[in-house]
Amino acid sequence: MKSLVLTCALCAIATGFSQADETAAPAPMAVPAGAYTLDKAHASLLFRVNHLGFSNFTARFTRFEVRLQFDPANPAAAHVDASIDPRSLDIDNAPAGFLDTLRGAQWLDTEKFPEMTFRSTHVEATGLKKLRVTGDLTLHGLTHPVTLDVTYNGGYAGHPMDPHARIGFSAHGSFKRSDFGIAFGIPPAGTIMGVSDAVQVIIESEFNGPAWAGAPAAQH
C-alpha cells in the first residue's frame, strides 16, 4: 500500500528544466543524458495513513531500487523503473509483533507478494522545475496507474569530489489501498474509526549518473 513510493525514481526526469520564470518554456540543464541509478544513502521512501483521525501514521520501506534513463533535452521521453521489497517495511517504536501483522495476510501479505514495482508510462512538465509522472504501480498482485508530483531540486555534471553527474528530486502522491485489494480496517462510511483508505507517498532521492567529462586526469 505504500510502495509507490518507489516510484521515486521518476523524479529524476525533472532534470530537464531551467530556473527561469515559472511561465517560461523548459530549457535543458547542463546535466548529461544517460543512465542514472539511485544513491541509496540519500534516498527515502515514506508513506502515511490517517489513524482514527488522530494522526498521520508514518512508515517507510528501507530496500528499494530505481533505474532511470533520461535525456535533459527531452524529459518527456524519460523512463523510470522501480522495485520495492515490502518485507523491508519499518516504523518507529513498533510494538511487539506489529510489523509481522503489517507484513501479514490482512495487509501487505509479503509472503505471497514479495515485490512491488512502479514503471513510468507518461511524463509532463507542469511548471518551473515541476513534473507530473504517471506510471503503473503493482502492489498486492494488482496493477493500477498512480501519479506523482515531482520537484527537481538541482543537479550538476560532476565535481572534483564527486566525479559523476548527480541530480536530486522530491516527489509526493497518493492512491487508495482498496484499489489494490488491501481494505482491512478502512473506516465505515461517515466515520474515522479505522485506518484511511488514502495512502500518501513521500519520496526524497538523489541519483548518480554518467562520469564527469571534466574530471581531472589521474596523477601518476
**154's torsion region: left (phi>0), alpha (psi -120 to 50) or beta?**
left
Nearest to 81 by CA among 170, 6, 140: 6
**158's torsion region: left (phi>0), alpha (psi -120 to 50) or beta?**
left
Asked if the structure places residue 109 within a domain, the reply is yes
What DSSP string runs through 168-183? EEEEEEEEEGGGGT--
C-alpha cell, 141:
498482485
Asked if the structure places residue 219 within a domain, the reply is no
> What pLDDT is stored for residue 74 in this prediction?
81
Block means of pLDDT (10 residues each) for the chain, 220 residues, are 39 40 45 94 98 97 93 83 98 96 97 98 89 97 97 90 93 98 96 97 97 73
C-alpha cell, 36:
542514472
User: Structurally, how many domains does the chain consist of?
Assistant: 1
Residue 11 vs residues 44, 50, 109, 117, 219: alpha-carbon distances, Å:
13, 25, 28, 15, 37
Asked if the structure places residue 14 within a domain, the reply is yes
Nearest to 148 by CA among 57, 56, 45: 45
**The domain spanning residue 95 has which CATH number?**
2.40.128.110
> What pLDDT is stored for residue 218 in this prediction?
57
* pTM of the predicted protein model: 0.84
Asked if the structure places residue 73 within a domain, the reply is yes
d(CA 187, CA 47): 19
> What pLDDT is stored for residue 207 in this prediction?
96
> What pLDDT is stored for residue 88 in this prediction?
98
Asked if the structure places residue 217 within a domain, the reply is no
- Contact predicate 135/80, CB 8 Å: yes
Owning domain of residue 8: 3-211
Asked if the structure places residue 166 within a domain, the reply is yes
Range list of β-strands (E), the chain: 34-38, 44-51, 55-61, 64-70, 79-84, 89-90, 116-127, 130-139, 142-156, 164-176, 198-211
d(CA 47, CA 85): 14
Asked if the structure places residue 78 within a domain, the reply is yes
> What pLDDT is stored for residue 108 in this prediction?
98
Asked if the structure places residue 150 within a domain, the reply is yes
Nearest to 141 by CA among 118, 102, 113, 107: 113
